[in-house]
Structure formats: structure tokens, C-alpha cells
Structure 1
Amino acid sequence: MKLNSFAKLSGVALLSALVLAGCGSKSSSTGTKKQTLNWMVPSSISTMDTSKMTDLYSSQVANATNEGLLRMGNSKVTPGVAKSYKISNGGKTWTFNLRHSKWNDGKPVTAEDFVFAWQRTVSPKTASQYAYIFGNVKNATQISAGKMSPSKLGVKADGNYKLVVTLNKPQSFFKYMVAQGYYFPQEKSIVQKYGSNYATNATKNGYNGPFILKGWNGTNDTFKLVKNPKYWDAKKVKLSTVNFQTIKDPSTALNSYQSNKLDFTTLNGTQVKQYKNNKDYHDYLEASSFYLEMNEKKDPMFKNKNIRRALSLAIDKKQFVDKVLADGSIAPKGYVPAKMSSHNGKDFADQAYVKDAVEYNLAQAKKYWAKGLKETGKKSVSLTLLSDDTDGAKKNTEFVQSQLTKLPGLKITNQNVPFKTRLSRSQNGQFDLVITAWIADYPDPSNFLDLFTSTNSQNNGKWKNAQYDALIKKSESTDANNETARWNDMVQAEKILMNDQGIVPLYQQAQSTLMQSKVKGVQFFPTSPQWAWDKASIK
């Protein structure tokens, strides 16, 4: 799931290791009049269309306002629209038994709402960047390629309240996938009513989750969630309102927190030093990767491996996390984050570690740079570095700029734009260099590695390697049922990506936050969507 490049959100090691922020184990039973939570986000949401959203902030709101078959809970997935499910046919058939739940307009949520939504997402007409995530659902890949009708997707409604899903191969983590926004149902009548304007503001949508979105016009920085009385488990939702403020400047956010206008805020490195011993302080290491993509399609010089290696070696990642971020973030061992996945007691990041791909060596960087310039016939290069326009993003792109311009003849111009604009430009290939971030949707290396197959829509830099593609394909087909073989395929794939310097890993992010002690039961997840407020309350 896409992250704001320098927003201070986070995760912890494993999807199963969920924790409660705020430290409260029992919710207060105070009246709804006081059950208002004031929350800060560093970037505005971009869309509420679950077929089209790719960023973390939209997914957080979608997770609060809608619900899939299963729902993330403490240490495991919990029943959502599906009250139970069973797995058969050697792990390839999943049958979900749906409860009688409702949309916010009172209409029933049926199995057909899931069929419609999933078919819409994989349809080429929708142009969903998350269509690939359905790749293991029968016929999804052929449908996305325009070779088969969406009606042939391996999902069907057996009556109103039973959904049957057919997979190409067993997939143990499929239960985590159906808890994510891209697998949510969609109210067909609402989608058809608004057409291309569907989910572009708060009113042009249907909601079946704990809250309803209010006050979002598609571009504004303030909006709110209000309790959904039609939600099937509404009696357990304590909050009446969650007010959101988009605040890009950390100082402004901290001032709002100190004046009790916010109950939650993120902190930058400077602020961490001041508040690390405060009782409201919490920090986490997330399952995310921040990296630099190089646009090989727009700038053919990036097809030169020496150029790519030079850029990586020129950036001191340790100095970046220790001196610039200073918030607990760590230098990367590679692309897939540390402490997310393990096999036989060994961490994936350790096994796939390629030292040369993440270390700092300016002298060596200059040698590769000179060789790369000679091979590409260039004497000097001017590039733009695309990132977000938050205060933190500007500070951090300045660091990357200062590091890269130590390479002789290289000029870097920073281009800081709103999060939504950065996403659009990245997806459309309108960049030379871009700082991109990805947070795990589920705790498996494939969630990261799939992105850099040559045909993946998230591969904005267009790096490609036939051997890499073959290993990923093998891990998802012939080796899918052999845990060790599949693991080895993915380890080798990452080593290819790193040895070829397809991307430049920058850091694995930690989140530092302040949350008022009166706030209890806010759930923090290690992967997307990270936060949930359906069990929260105000003391």
C-alpha cells in the first residue's frame, strides 16, 4: 500500500503481533456526548473508491467506513461481513458465510456486492492499480489483460449470503487479503448512479462499516467519521465522531496537540528528543520500505547499472536515519523490511541481504558514476527528485539532494508536490527520480516483490529482469505448495533486484507519536491500514 513518502506512520514486526495504542484494556462507558476523537493525518485522502485507492490514508478511512469479509483484530483476523468461512479443495476453494448486514441506506449487503466489486476491480476498464492483487483468484490475470470477461472471475454468489471463491493455488495468507480494502464490497446501485464520479466525495458512496464519512468534498483537509447506526455491530462502537485534520507541518500539529485540539499527532526527529520520556509517547517500527525509483522509460540512462549503483552508494542511509529522521527508523538491509517474515527462524531481510546494494561508499560511487557517464555518452546530468510537500518531505529530499550532488556533473532539482499529485505523477511516469514508500498489506515478502515484476502497474520506474520475473512466477506456481522452495525463490528474487540495483532502498520507517492518555482502545496494526477506531473510546 502506498505511503506518503515522509509521513510518520508505522508498523511493527509481524501481522500477528497487533498492539493497542493508548494502553487501555477496558473501554469507558461514558456518554456519546464526550466520545469525540480528534485525529491528525499528514496528507489528505485521495479517493474512496476501493478499486482505485493505492495510498495508506485512503485505506485507513475506507477500513473505518466499510468492511470486508473478514476484519483485522487483535492477533488475528476476526469476522466481518462473513460470520464464518471454510477452506476446501486442497486450499483452493474458500466459502464465506455472510451475516445479514446492511449498507448505510438500509439495503442488505449481499454476496453479489462482493462479486460486483471484485469483477469491477479486475476489469481493464477500471484501470485499477490493485488488479494484480487478485492474481491468484481464478481467471483474474486473463481478465485484467483483456482476454476474458470479468464475469469469468473465480468468485460467485450462492444465494444472497454465501460467497464462493476459487483460487488458482492454495494461499494461506488469503484470509489477510480479504480483510483489506481492495476486497471490500461495493454497492452496485451507488456505483452505477454516480459513474465516473463514484466515491469522489463523501456523499457519492455507500458505507457498510462502523462509521460514515462526512464533510469530505474530494480535496479538503478536514473531514470526519460519524458512527454508522446501520452497522451490524454498532452497539460495540463507542465513538460518535472522529474529526480529521490534515496537518503537514509537524510544529503546527504539535501545537494543536498541546492546546488539546488534537488527541493524536505524529512527531519528527527533533520533537522525539523532547517528548521521548513523555507518558503520551509511543513509537513503533513498521513493516514498510522507503526507496528511490529511477524512471528507466523516461530516462534511458537509468538502464545503465553503473548509474544506478552510483546513486545508491552516494547516499549515506545510516546518516539519514540517525541525523535527519532521528525517530527510530533504521537503515535498510534491502527492499523487503526486516522483522516482517521469517522461515525456520530466519528473517527474510537477513537471508536476502546484499551489502553492496545498501551501503555508503562515495569513492566507489564516483567510480561507477564516471563509468556510467562514459557508457551513456554524457558529461553532466540534470534530474528532478519528486516527493511530497510536507515539511518532513522537504527536509529529507534536501538531504538526498545534497548526497547525490556529490557526484561530479549531477544536478538535482527537488520537486515537492501534494501527496495526491505525487501519486498521479508517479503512476503516469512523470518523474526522473521519485521517493516511494510501500507498507505491507499482508506479512509475506510477495507483497513487496510482486511490485517489481515487469508487468506490475506499481513498477513506476519500469525496471525489469527476466530471471526475477521467472522466480516470482515460480514462487506463485510450481513452488506455491512447497514452503521452503517458495521462500528460496523469493530470497533469490530479492538478491537479483538488489544486485542489479533496480531500486535504491533508503530506510525502514518508525513512527513516533503522542496520544492523549484519555484515548483508549485505538488499534494499531503492523501493516495497512495501521489504525482502527471501531473499538476506541474516550475515558
Structure 2
Amino acid sequence: MKFKTVVKLSAVGAASAFLLAACGNQSRESSSKYINWQTSSQLPTLDASKATDNLSFAMLNNSNEGLLVNAKDNKVNPGVAKSYDVSKDGKTYTFHLRHSNWSNGKPVTAKDFVYGWQRTVDPKTASQYSYLFDHVQNADAIGKGKAPVSSLGVKADGDYTLVVTLTQPQSYFKYLVTMAPFLPQSEAVVNKYGSSYGTNSDDMVYNGPFKMTGWKGTNDTWTLQKNNKYYNASKIKVAGVKYSVEKDANTALNQYETGAADESFLSGAQQVGKYKGSKELSSPKVASTFYLEFNEKKNPELKNANLRKAISLAVNRKEYTDHTLGDGSIPAVGYVSPGMSKRNGKDFTADAGTTSGVSYNLSEAKKLWAKGLKEVGKKSVNYAVLSDDTDAGKKTTEFLETALNKLPGLKVSAQNVPFKTRLTRSQNGQFDLVVSAWGADFPDPISFLSLFTSDASYNNGKWKNAQYDQLVNAAETKDSNNAAKRWDDLVKAEQILMNDQGIAPLYHQVQPQVVKPRVHGVQYFATGSPIDFRDATLSKK
């Protein structure tokens, strides 16, 4: 999913995506039944079919519930589905739903899942996450306008049985159904609110442990309020989570240190060092990668691999992570994040071994740049580097501006805009170079690699490679049931992406933050929705 570039996090992710922010003085902090949490960017949407970023996913997955929910150690727990069965051929999933309700008191039924899934794959919705349904029967044909939405392989067998038919086995399907695009949606509510659905907290309905209140669509505060209609409401121990937007890392930390916030993200070596050794410091792992994307459609000369490689080689990633971020993030070792997927005890990044796509060599960069300019018949080019308007985003563009302007004939300028605007411009191809980030939606390399096939909705730079497309397709089709071949397909795809410099990975993030001792039980996940408050509790200390 998309991250925001803040100073770590959640960057699309750079500056810790989620911060606990607060309610006031120490006495209020101790007695409050609410967790107070900050985030570094505005909330883009509550429409499960249109969400693309980690903040929207976090809000949706705390205020709604899918068939299954994320659990520790890459496991899943029952959600609305109390159990499920899988056919011997791996192509049919039958989910047995519990009796539960929406926040308006109406029952959540299998038909709500059918409608939600159909709405997401409907081309009219223009969901960027519809590609996740590609294994569901007829999803691809529907997306191409060659089959009716009603033909999607998901059916309600009565009110509380949902039957899903896949075109071929998909080993990670159980993880997909925990995600926002697979949430149930009330057709009556969507029709009632029309174009305003998902654009504010009132024009919505919720079936999760919390419901959203106070979000008008553009304001900087809102609340995840305990949902008393939730089937497991008795297990939710906090009154809610009060969110506020704070882009400036120093201001956020001041809120924490004065008792006006329960948590704060930490930005840079100074802030992280200040809390070194403290029990309040934590760094939840995130399977994410920040990378530089080249717009080959807007700037055709960037189809030249030598120019792309030169730009990548001009970036000293270790200097960037050590001195610009300084928060424990590590220089990119490739596109797929390390520590997420292993086979026979070996990490995916070790098997791929694509150091050529993430190395620093300014001398070689200058040679390739001169060669590339000659090949495309240009003496100079001017590019803007687009990123977020957060602390980390601004520091990142400043660093890249300095590094890339060392290439003779290249003039780079910084362009920093709000997170929501950056997402829109990226999706619409309104950029030269853009700092993007991706957090894995599920613990499999395909969650990263599927983004850069030729027709992928997130391939904003329009890089294309036929062999890459073939390998990713093979991993999802003919080799989907052969673990060894599938792994080899994905390793080769990663190598092609890096060797051709389809993108330039920058770093893999961490989320340094400090949390008040009174807050317990907040769950963080490296993939999928980044945070879960359903088991959170508050003590008086």
C-alpha cells in the first residue's frame, strides 16, 4: 500500500505513520479513556474500494472487519467469518459467517461481501486495488469490460454463507480477505450517499470494533469511537482513539513530552538518540520500500536505461539513511523488503542479490549519464523531484536535489506537496521523478513485484519489460502450485527490475516511536493494515 514520506514514519512512509497524540495535561492523560494518536498526513478516504494508502487502510480496518483479520506471526484469525473451508483443488473457499451488525443496527450478510467485492472490481469504480481480485473467477474479464460485474466468482448461499471461486489456487488468498478492498459494503448505504460515500465519517456505516466520527473530509482531527454494535464490543476496553494530524516531528514530540500525547513518532538521529535505552522507545517493523520512480511517459528520454541507472548510481543511500533520516532505516538492498519472505531458510533479497540496482558510484553515474544523453540526443534536461511536504519529504528532496545535480546536464528542483496531492499527481502521471513507497499488503514478494507489470495500476512511471511481465504472470498462474518454481520466477523478476533500473529503491523504513507506559496492547503489523487497536487497554500509570 502507499505510504507517506514523513520522517519516518509511515512514509508511503517516511515519518512514522501513526502517532499517539493526546488530550492535555498529565491528570487528563491518566484518567482519559481514550488513546490519543497523531498522524503526519491528512486522511484521504474511507471508501474501501478507493483507498490506496496506509492511513486509510488503518482507519478502515479499525472501523470495519473483513472475513478474517490479521494476527501475529503472519497468521490470520476469524473475523466476520467464524470459519472457512477450502476445496481440495484450492479453488473454492466457503466462508461461514457469524451473525453481526452494522453500526446502524442492520445485519451484515454474505450479500454485503458480494456487493463490496463487485463494486471494487467494477471498472466504473476505478479502484487501484482491483488487481488483488485477479484470481477470483471472471475478475479480469470484468475489469476489461468483457463480462458483467454479476459474473464475479463470489456468491451468497443464504445470508451467512459466502462461496468464492478462484481461477487457480492462490496460496496467500487468506491474507487478501483481511484487507480493505475485501471488506463488506452496504449497497443501501452506498446508494444513499452516492458521491459523498467515504468522503466523511457521517456518510458511512461500520461493522468493526470502532466507528469513525468527526471527520469532515479535510479536517485534521477525528475519532475512532468504540462501536457498541460490534459483535465483540464487550472485548473492546478503550472508549476510542482520538486522532490529530501533526506534520512537524518536533511539534509532535513536544506534544508527547508535555503530556498532551500518548505517543510520538521520532524523526532523525537526535530524536531517536534521546530515547535510546528507554522502555518507551519501540521500532515496529514495516515491510516497506521507498523508491524513486521515473515518468517515462511524460519524459520519453527516461526510457533510456543508462539515464535511469545514472540517477540511481548518483544516490548515496547509506549517507542518506545515516545522516538525512538517521532513524534506523536501512539502505535499500533491492525492491522487495528484506525479512519478509524466506524459502529454505534464505531471505528473498539474498536470493535475488540485486546490488547493481542500489549501488552508489558517482564516477560511473556521470559516464552513464553522458552516454544516455547522447543516445537520446539531448545535452541537458530539467526535472522536478516530487515528494510529500513533511519533514522527511522535504529532507529527502533536498538530499536528492544535491545528489542529482552533480550529474552534468541535469538540473533538479524539489517539489513538496501534501500527501494526498502527491498520491493524486503520481496516479495521474503529473511528475518527472517522484519519491514513492510501498508497504507489502501480505507476506509474499508478489505484493511488491506485481506493481510493475506493464498494465499495473500502480506503475505510474510506465516502465515496461515483457520478460518481467511473463515471470510475474507465471508465478500467479502455471507455477502457482509449485513453490520452488514460483520462488524462482519472482527472484528473476526482481533481478530484471533492478538490472534495468525500472525504479531506484532508496531505503527500507523502520518506525521509531515513543509510547506512554499507560498504553498497552496496540498491535503493529509489517504487512497489511499497519495498526490495530482492538486489543488496546489503558492503565492509570
**TM-score range relative to shorter protein:** over 0.9
**Contact 1:523/1:531 (CA < 8 Å) preserved in 2?**
yes
C-alpha distance after superposition, 1:36-66 (max 9, x if no partner): 1000111111000000000000110001100
User: How far did 1:226 drift?
Assistant: 0.7
Distance 1:143 1:241 in 2: 39
Report the CA distance between 1:209 and its aligned residue.
0.3
Could you tell me whether the CA contact under 8 Å between 2:8 and 2:325 is conserved in 1?
no
Give matches, 1:56-67, under 5 Å. 56-67=54-65
Whole-angstrom distance in 2 between the partners of 1:245 and 1:34: 16
**Which SS does the other structure have where 1:5 is aligned?**
strand
1:499 counterpart residue number: 499
Query: 2:275 matched to which residue of 1?
Result: 275
The answer on whether the counterparts of 2:214 and 2:223 sit within 8 Å (CA) in structure 1 is yes
Give the equivalent residue in structure 1 for 2:418: 418
Matches within 5 A, 1:361-400: 361-400=361-400
Structure 1 partner of 2:256? 257
Q: What pairs with 1:24-103 in structure 2 (closer than 5 Å)?
A: 34-75=32-73, 76-103=75-102
C-alpha contact (below 8 Å) 2:7/2:249 kept by paired residues? no
Conserved? CA contact 1:337–1:508, under 8 Å: yes
Give distance in 1, aligned partners of 2:461 and 2:381. Answer: 18
C-alpha contact 1:10 1:530 (8 A) present in aligned 2:
no
Match of 1:473 in 2: 473
Render the CA deviation track for 1:374-429: whole Å, top value 9, x for unaligned.
Answer: 11111111101110001121012101111111101211111100000000000000
Distance 1:239 1:9 in 2: 25
- Give the structure 2 partner of residue 519 of structure 1: 519
What is the letter of the counterpart of residue 386 of structure 1?
Answer: L
Query: Is the CA contact (8 Å cut-off) linking 2:520 and 2:536 kept in structure 1?
Result: yes
| Matched position secondary structure for 2:290 | strand
Are 2:5 and 2:390, in contact at CA under 8 Å, matched by a contact in 1?
no
- 2:445 match: 445
Judge which range, 248-257 or 270-279, deviates more: 270-279
Q: Please report how far the alpha carbon of residue 241 of structure 1 lies from its aligned counterpart in structure 2 after TM superposition.
A: 2.0
Superposed displacement of residue 10, structure 1: 6.4
**Counterpart AA for 1:314:** A
State the TM-score, normalized to the length of structure 2: 0.95
Q: Which runs of 5+ in 2 are unaligned?
A: 12-18, 21-29
Shift of the 10–285 alpha-carbon distance from structure 1 to 2, 3 Å rule, reads: farther
Q: Distance in 2 between matches of 1:448 and 1:168?
A: 22
Match runs of 1:320-399 below 5 Å: 320-399=320-399
Higher relative contact order (Cα pairs below 8 Å, separated by 6+ residues): 1
What's the counterpart of residue 15 of structure 1? Answer: none
Give, in whole Å, the separation in 2 of the partners of 1:153 and 1:398. Answer: 47
More moved, 146-155 vs 282-291: 282-291
Q: How much has 1:167 moved relative to structure 2?
A: 0.8
Deviation track 1:454-480 (CA, whole Å, cap 9, x = no partner) reads 000000000000000011111111111
Residues 244-278 of structure 1 show CA distances to partners (whole Å, capped at 9, x for unaligned) of 01100000000000111111110011210111222
Cα shift at 1:355:
1.8
SS of 2:120's equivalent?
helix
Is this contact kept in 1: 2:519–2:536, CA < 8 A? yes
Distance, in Å, in 1 between the alignment partners of 2:227 and 2:87 is 35
User: What does residue 16 of structure 1 align with?
Assistant: none
Q: 1:239 is paired with a residue of what secondary structure?
A: coil
Higher mean Cα deviation, 523-532 or 146-155? 523-532
Secondary structure, aligned partner of 1:378: coil
The structural deviation recorded for 1:90 is: 1.1
Report the Cα offset of residue 297 of structure 1.
0.4
Bigger drift between 62-71 and 261-270 goes to 261-270
1:285, 1:328 within 8 Å by CA — same for their partners in 2? no
1:7 shift after superposition = 4.9
CA shift digits 1:285-311 (9 cap, x unpaired): 321010000000000010001100000
Residue of structure 2 equivalent to 1:247: 246
What residue identity is the alignment partner of 2:427?
Q
Given that 1:66 and 1:207 are in contact with CA atoms closer than 8 Å, whether structure 2 keeps it comes out as: yes
Residue of structure 2 equivalent to 1:122 = 121
1:18 alignment counterpart: none
Matches of 2:514 and 2:161, distance apart in 1: 43
